[in-house]
Amino acid sequence: MGLVKNVRYREIVNENPVKFKRNNISHRQFVEAIRHSRTLQGHDGCVNTISWNHSGTLLISGSDDRNIMVWDGNDGHLLHRMATEHMNNIFSVLFVPDTSDRQVISASADRQVLLHDLDHQNISNPVQNGLRVKRLAVTQALPKLFWSASEDGVLRQYDLRMKEVEKLVELSSQSYQMKSLAVNDQYPELIAIALNDYMVPIYDRRNTKSPMLRLLPGHLSIYSDEERRALRTALVTHVAFNSRGNEIVANLGSDNIYIYNIMDSKAAPSVLGALRTYLDESDEFMEMEAELSSGRMEYEPLVKETRSPRDSLFKEIRKLAKNYVKKKEYTKAIDLCSSAIYVYTKENRLPRFPDPYDPYEYIHNKSNAYYTSGFSRILAQRGLCYFERQWEGDTVAAMRDSLQSLHVNGRSNKDVHYLLLRTLVKMKQTELATTCYDLYIKRFPDGIMNGLNDLKKQLEQLQADEKSDSRPTWNTGSTIKFRDYVDRFCGSSNINTDIKEANWFGGHDEMVVGGSDCGSLFIWERATGKVLRLFKADEYSVNTVQCHPNRLLIATSGIDNVIRFWEPGLQDQTSVYASDTEYGEKRDLTGKIYEKMQINNQPTHHLIWENLLHARAGIEQILSSGIFGEEFEFGGGGNDPEGEGDGASPPGIACRTM
């Protein structure tokens, strides 16, 4: 329903205003009208952290200049500037709940956590941590408590009523560093931690001996804990719970942004479980197939025999997608298929991931969920596009789509089985690929695909190499302790800093926003994974992205020493705010979404040189930011990776990936 119709409908039925606002605050027409509205100037260094107060009337920020600033949440005017006693870069600053926004807490690379009073400029006794303190967290449910995550691998709990600090989780013995954390506002006993690992542990504060849940994308569960952490870029830079408290978004370094469901185990598909079910040739399954062929068992397929009006539409969509594939525009084809899949499943109230575990589900269709053959082919088409694109995680994404396509289409599609085999060979999973190959020959003896001989040769080479090469093997033991993602968002780049955020956006968390090393602000649609809007929000890298709690407003910051606001406005808004919109409409990069996504996912250093050439910050600041790694130390020691600056001069950029 259009926005105008929604407004008229509210007048007729007298809809609850809170519900109306939640349903319409992020309407597509508003999202399409978002543009750069204001630039907040005042800091003299990178703005590493920004945060709204609970009502959204104030915004607080912390910077490399070691100052804390409070801004008006409506017009962006500077209300308060506080020079802190921090000796190094400020990484996190928050308002303390239930203090009328007069008390704030801050954490820094100097290892200290400070409590400030904005009215009296006084500071409580600083709390010393072992290494840099990267993130603080508060919750309205427990206003007297707050928490910190530091690179010494310790999660600390602070009580404003007591001097003692409690160590809830200690992971230093396992060489873990904590990069960020999040407390669940709906279930405040749950805390998520971002580590120098791709795995996100969820702890219950009442029993922190071990995580109650571990979250990890399927393509990374192939590695053992040691192998996974040995990856140089292995880290999660930010985690955030949604408003309902049942899901969490995580931004993975050198990878993608993922959403996990922490409450419903069935919401996240077990790719390995579905794969083993499909490859199952057990006596039980073979007996059921024999009973079907003899007529002793009634068969109710998942795919309707009758044609659906949607099938003709699916056919046209597949035709368009194939045209994109010919031009190697795989992301456009994926977005097209994803939109069709979302619309079809929503209209027919179908589960996103049919239960792949029980063999009887294939036979009896206990869920009474019907799909058309066109839907199955759309899934297969998207899976093929993932496989051809080959961005991080695309191979397993292709496997997920091919398994679901085979599931709803009764295992009968040899093309999709062939794609499944290709994914296993690509992942070098010799045992599973061999089983899949043998099953293909058995099920489709008369339908040998072109290229199967090449796959057979690759498989034979894998079998030969396996004797001398110890490669990671995908097995149930390595995946059962992790929960896989439900949604994935691609296109941004998260390599150069370890504080890059991703957050929920919209009245029902129906969008995800995040920053990128290319200096862009991304806005993704949750339902399809498509990038809706793209903006140039920083000259170098966008690190912090904070959404207003009540309005359609996004605040961003990064390496630039300013904060920028993004909200719906008129086309000629730049003339109204000429003084603080340096580039005006040129900041809107929505027309270059696919170009920017492709550049960000190239396995080259293209972005590095582009930033060196165009960044206003200059080559000295770029080199000192650590973009080239530890071996490139520029100048006279401006960077202090352990946060032990002497306070003589403002330190260099300290948000780099360690």
Q: What is the DSSP letter of 482?
A: S
Q: Is 33-268+483-597 in CATH node 3.30.70.980?
A: no
Cβ distance 127 to 164 under 8 Å? no
Cβ distance 634 to 624 under 8 Å? yes
Tokens of 443: 């099920």
pLDDT digits (tens, 9 = 90+) for 538-568: 999 999 999 999 999 999 999 999 999 999 9
Write down the pLDDT at residue 281: 62
pLDDT digits (tens, 9 = 90+) for 610-629: 554 444 445 455 444 443 33
Write down the pLDDT at residue 298: 52
In 3D, which of 228, 226, 205, 209 has the Cα closest to residue 218? 228
Measured over the CA atoms of residue 452, residue 455, residue 457 and residue 462, the dihedral's sign is negative
- Quickly list DSSP for 430-465: HHHHHHHHHHHHHH-TT-PPTTHHHHHHHHHHHHHH
Residue 5: other Cβ atoms inside 10 A: 9
In 3D, which of 275, 247, 255, 254 has the Cα closest to residue 485? 247
Domain extent listing, the chain: 1-29, 33-268+483-597, 271-479
- 400 vs 529: CA distance, rounded Å: 15
Write down the pLDDT at residue 308: 62
CATH architecture of 271-479: Alpha Horseshoe (1.25)
Cβ distance 58 to 72 under 8 Å? yes
Instruction: With both helix axes pointing from N to C terminus, report the angle between 271-278 and 394-408 in degrees, rounded to the nearest 10.
Output: 50
Q: What is the DSSP letter of 262?
A: S
- 621 vs 12: CA distance, rounded Å: 58
Tokens of 472: 């990671």
Residues of the chain whose pLDDT is less than 70? 1, 14, 122, 125, 232, 281-309, 354-370, 410-411, 468, 470, 476-480, 571-585, 603-658
- 253 vs 237: CA distance, rounded Å: 6
- 599 vs 415: CA distance, rounded Å: 31
Q: What is the DSSP letter of 231?
A: S
Measured over the CA atoms of residue 312, residue 314, residue 316 and residue 322, the dihedral's sign is negative
Cβ distance 199 to 211 under 8 Å? no
Write down the pLDDT at residue 478: 61
